[in-house]
Amino acid sequence: MKTYNQTNFFKHTFCEFQQIDHFEFPENTNYKSKSESTYFYTDKGVYRKSNHWGRVANCRWKLMALTNYKNQDKVIGFAKWNDFYPINSTEKIFFIDVNFEEKTAKIQSKKEHQIHYLFSFSEAQQRIKQIHHLFKDDKWANYFDLEIDKLQIKVISAFINSNKTLQEIKRAQK
């Protein structure tokens, strides 16, 4: 696994920054981007003050907010160097976390001691799109004898825990 630091963390990476309430950026802040994001590097990781999270240049950086966060609000986040993962790799280091009550799905990086079916970042992205479609459009469920909520749980759970295609999983449900 690649080691990240202040010279390469901004090149095609996925990361979940933890929101920090109070951090004073020193006068000699390490870097300020064209979009006004401010960065401060430490031996352990990087602090980022920004009003935009999610897709950042060629990276996917999430903010794990303490409260309801809205883009355009300046927020400070911190990430350890070992919290960065390559997104342009074929390495299978991501899993899909689904909240069936809220009908949402998101990509997560693998954590130690967790057992999940893992995907590359691009595979996970493609599956997320298909899951969102399954939640949004329920016409596909008309061909099954199961209640839509139960069917979604059954199909999506099988989809995120295997390398089978969505079509193969649906076929197996009939």
Classify residue 99 by its DSSP letter: E
Longest CA–CA span in the chain (Å) reads 64
Kindly report, residue by residue over 40-61, the tens digit of the pLDDT: 999 999 999 999 998 888 999 9
Kindly report, residue by residue over 56-78, the tens digit of the pLDDT: 889 999 998 877 767 678 899 99
Q: What is the mean pLDDT of residues 137-158?
A: 92
- Token look-up 């996925």 returns 14
Instruction: State yes or no: pLDDT of 88 exceeds 90.
Output: no
113 falls in which pLDDT band (50, 70, 90)?
Answer: low
Instruction: State yes or no: pLDDT of 99 exceeds 70.
Output: yes
Contact 77, 18 (CB under 8 A): yes
> In angstroms, how far is CA 47 from the centroid of its own chain?
19
